[in-house]
Amino acid sequence: MRIDIITLFPGTVDAPLGESIVGRARQRGVVEIAVHNLRDFAEGRHQVTDEPPFGGGGGMILKPEPLAAAIGAVRRAGARVILLDPAGRRFTQAVAGELARLPHVILVCGRYEGVDERVRQHLVDEELSIGDYVLSGGEVAALVVTEAVTRLLPGALGDEAAAERDSFARGLLEHPHYTRPEIFRDWPVPPVLLSGDHARIARWRRLMSLWRTWQRRPDLLETADLSPEEQKWVDAFNQGQAPSNLIA
Ligand code: 9D3
């Protein structure tokens, strides 16, 4: 898969994309990522990329010509052109899954008050937002999309992390995790985790995963597919039972 990022501030995305899982995926050739400076596509001695809005009002708008030139220069057959914009469709794990199946995604980062509407209408296939809060531009959103998509590409993660994905794919929150020491200050690790009884540990983890989901994200339980025992546990939570009453 290839991801092109078009931005006025390439420095804000370059470093993060060289680190950790995304950086390793690039080295391994799992994903090809290129960052392009929008200013390089602006003409004239001053390479102007933004102008005040027609009709007045505050702020600056990204001009259409540099955006069109940049998109045109990087676009290949089968590319999806995505504008990161606060008014876009909400980016979710499901959207990440859709994008991970495409051969080429072009992420266009807006800045200032936004981009000329003709770019949106004629050159952009879809707009995405990462949530309801105000950022200064689309760069951080492009990083979020790039990281979430890259993790889904075959070969991006080791085996250990692939297993972790399974529990998230079930649509539940994770159970709590502990590591050494067995007692930190006067806070012990739950004894079941030290028992060596793998079936009991697995059952405890499923129970805690459900409990945490019931407490924090009950909305996720609407769509989660639960075993009969798990459904019984949820019914018990709804009757006021705590997890400690439900397991040996
Ligand atoms: C000051 C102008 N704002 C009026 C409330 C509109 C506005 C325009 C551009 C607000 C933020 C931005 C810059 N943000 C993005 O480009 C952006 C974004 C975001 O702010 N939140 C969540 N997802 C995204 S994706 C791109």
**In this structure, is residue 117 part of a structural domain?**
yes
Number of domains into which the chain is organized? 2
From the CB of 86, is ligand 1 less than 6 Å away? yes
From the CB of 94, is ligand 1 less than 6 Å away? no
Chain segment 5-56, per-residue pLDDT in tens: 999 999 999 999 999 999 999 999 999 999 999 999 999 999 999 999 999 9
Would you say the pTM of this structure is higher than 0.85? Answer: yes
From the CB of 53, is ligand 1 less than 6 Å away? no
Residues 181 and 121 in one domain: no
Residues 101 and 173 in one domain: no
pLDDT confidence of residue 170: 79
Q: List the beta strands (DSSP E) in the chain.
A: 2-7, 32-37, 50-51, 61-62, 79-90, 104-109, 114-115, 126-129, 183-184, 187-188
Chain segment 95-140, per-residue pLDDT in tens: 999 999 999 999 999 988 999 999 999 999 999 999 999 999 999 9
**In this structure, is residue 140 part of a structural domain?**
yes
Strands across the sheet containing 104-109? 32-37, 2-7, 104-109, 79-90, 126-129
Range of the domain at 88: 2-150
Q: Ligand 1 atom 4: the closest Cα is on which residue?
A: 113
CA 173 – ligand 1 centroid, Å: 29
Confidence class for position 168, pLDDT limits 50, 70, 90: low
